[in-house]
Amino acid sequence: MPTELEECVPSLPGPLLTSTSTIAVENLVPYSKTQPSIFKTAQLTPIKDLKLLVKDYPPIAKNVLTILINISTDPEILKSLAEDDALLESIFIRVT
């Protein structure tokens, strides 16, 4: 049975208000260090959803990037991130 935290992760890109998304993503940042496996469910669906949020409101995108960096130590997640040209382009645009 999934925990409340695990239920929160897949719903990130849903039709949430910006303030709700900001709070949800901000609260997930610590879990990206302590429980990164919650992002590695349902054939990496949470990772795909986080990739979409990189293009979101800057405070949301900042926390999403932090999460992605924290969980990129997993080889499967790293491969998913490194092979996504659209994601890399979005990141480069935000950084420069």
Please report where in the chains the tokens 């409340």 appear, as a residue: 4
Distance CA(27)–CA(89), nearest Å, equals 26
pLDDT over 60 at 13, yes or no:
no
- The overall pTM is greater than 0.75: yes
Task: Average the pLDDT over 4-18 and give the result.
Answer: 59
Q: Can you say how many angstroms the Cα of residue 72 is from the centroid of all Cα atoms in its chain?
A: 11
Tokens at residue 8, please? Answer: 């929160």
Banded pLDDT at 1 (limits 50, 70, 90) = very low
**Would you state the pLDDT for residue 9?**
62
* Cβ atoms of residues 33 and 70 within 8 Å: yes
**pLDDT, tens digit (0-9, with 9 covering 90-100), for 40-89:** 988 999 999 899 889 888 889 999 999 999 999 999 999 999 999 999 99
Quick one: pLDDT at residue 21? 81
Residues 44-79 as b/e (b if ≥16 CB within 10 A, e otherwise) read bebbebbbebbebeeebbbbbbbbbebbbebeebee
